[in-house]
Amino acid sequence: MRALIQRVSEASVTVDCEVLGEIGTGLLILICAMQGDSEAQADRLAAKIAKLRIFKDNDGRMNRSVADIGGSALVVSQFTLAADTSRGNRPGFSTAAAPEEGNRLYDYFADQMAAQGIPIAKGRFGADMKVRLLNDGPVTIWMDTED
């Protein structure tokens, strides 16, 4: 699985002018299931992200996790994280999981984040979503379970 994690002061996701999910301080997690991914990758990624120390402590050092600060996570599916730009100018997405499997693993990942004690909000898999965020730092981190 691939994830792009952004430390945010606030974030929201909207579909057809309806806000589906919004959070205050926490993480915006853009997530993509890749071909061959399973629950094991989602489990590892959720556990790692929940413990990722990217929030400032009292000394201003990145030493606290989203759980430590009582933050939330907005989880948004983003198959374009599977983009292959090695040939031509049009990205290919053939390494992304099939839509049914991608949706299942997206929901599973969000459930695993919640199981880590992180309050979550979600987008809608496959929808044309509008995502708003106020990146704090900015702090943006790329994670891939293949690495």
Domains annotated on the chain, with CATH: 2-137 (3.50.80.10)
Q: Which two tokens stand for residue 80?
A: 């374009």
Convert the pLDDT of each residue in 14-33 to its tens digit. 999 999 999 999 999 999 99
- Full-model pTM: 0.96
Phi, psi dihedral angles at 40 (to 5 degrees): -60, -40
Determine the Cα–Cα distance for residues 82 and 72; give it in Å rounded to an integer.
25
Q: Which residue ranges in the chain fall short of pLDDT 70?
A: 147
pLDDT at residue 146, as a whole number: 84
Determine the Cα–Cα distance for residues 26 and 8; give it in Å rounded to an integer.
5
Convert the pLDDT of each residue in 45-62 to its tens digit. 999 999 999 999 999 999
Task: Please list the active-site residues.
Answer: 78-80
